[in-house]
Amino acid sequence: MEIQTISGNEVCTTGVKRRKPGILYLSTVPPRMNIPALRDYFGKFGQIGRVYFQAPNGKGKFSEGWIEYKSKRKAKYVQELLNNEPVGGKKRNPNHDFLWNIKYLPRFKWEHLNQRLEYERQVFKKRMGAEISQVNKETDAYLKAHMNKRNQKEVSNEENEENFKKYFKQKLTEEEFQNRKKLTKKQKDEKFKKSIEKKKKKKQEFKPDKNEEEDFLASSIFVGKD
């Protein structure tokens, strides 16, 4: 501790040497201990600052953790005291026989952990982006193949329908039947009229003129009178 005293009208200031924090790394965490329980457990040995426990998929039990003690001497003490020792407590405790695996991290600062976590987040983000891109490509390829198959099926159905119409006549609806009946009647009338006109023309072609007929009769009468 450094103490500076100044007399007179000057102010007395006291400077306290700042303690350096120490960080412990837990490579395994008891499966049935949450963060409040872990803070209570390790808080018995000294003043705790920040803690961080990581789960593999963001949920479920913790796989590893970091605990910051305000004093690195306390951190070293806890590492020596608890490493490879059981959790202990009451025998009914499900974590009673769980062994701690604790390591003190010299010259390690909490900023290093933040950098590591940020790097892992960026890597995870890139990996997720690549996986999403791959899924989108596969989805587009599947949809394209499905649409091609659907188009081919529609073409095949149209061809089958045309072939069916060739070999099997579809029954007419009432409206189509009446229209067809009117059309056939009209066609018959027109055909009949044409046939009559054609007969009239033929009669006119073979009918002789009156002059020609009179000449013919006269010639027939006077034939043989000479």
pLDDT at 86 over 80: yes
Q: Give the model's confidence band at 146: pLDDT under 50 very low, under 70 low, under 90 confident, else very high.
A: confident
Q: What is the pLDDT of residue 9?
A: 39
User: Which range has the worst mean pLDDT, 3-17, 53-67, 142-156, 190-204?
Assistant: 3-17
End-to-end CA distance of the chain: 181
Q: What is the pLDDT of residue 101?
A: 92
| CA gap 46, 39 in Å, rounded | 10
> Can you spell out the DSSP letters for 174-191?
HHHHHHHHHHHHHHHHHH
Q: Give the model's confidence band at 154: pLDDT under 50 very low, under 70 low, under 90 confident, else very high.
A: confident
| CA gap 76, 87 in Å, rounded | 18
Mean pLDDT of 147-152: 79
| CA gap 106, 20 in Å, rounded | 11
Q: Are 66 and 52 in contact (CB under 8 A)?
A: yes
Q: Are 45 and 78 in contact (CB under 8 A)?
A: yes
Pairing type for strands 64-69 and 102-105 reads unpaired
Q: What is the pLDDT of residues 193-224, one digit of tens each?
A: 777 787 777 767 665 555 555 565 555 555 55
> Can you spell out the DSSP letters for 144-156?
HHHHHHHHHHHHH
Q: Does residue 183 or residue 106 have the better pLDDT?
A: 106
Q: What is the pLDDT of residue 164?
A: 62
Q: What is the pLDDT of residue 15?
A: 52
Question: Distance from CA of residue 33 to its chain's centroid?
Answer: 37
CA-based nearest residue to 38, from 58, 66, 60, 79: 66
Which residue is listed with tokens 């949809």? 143
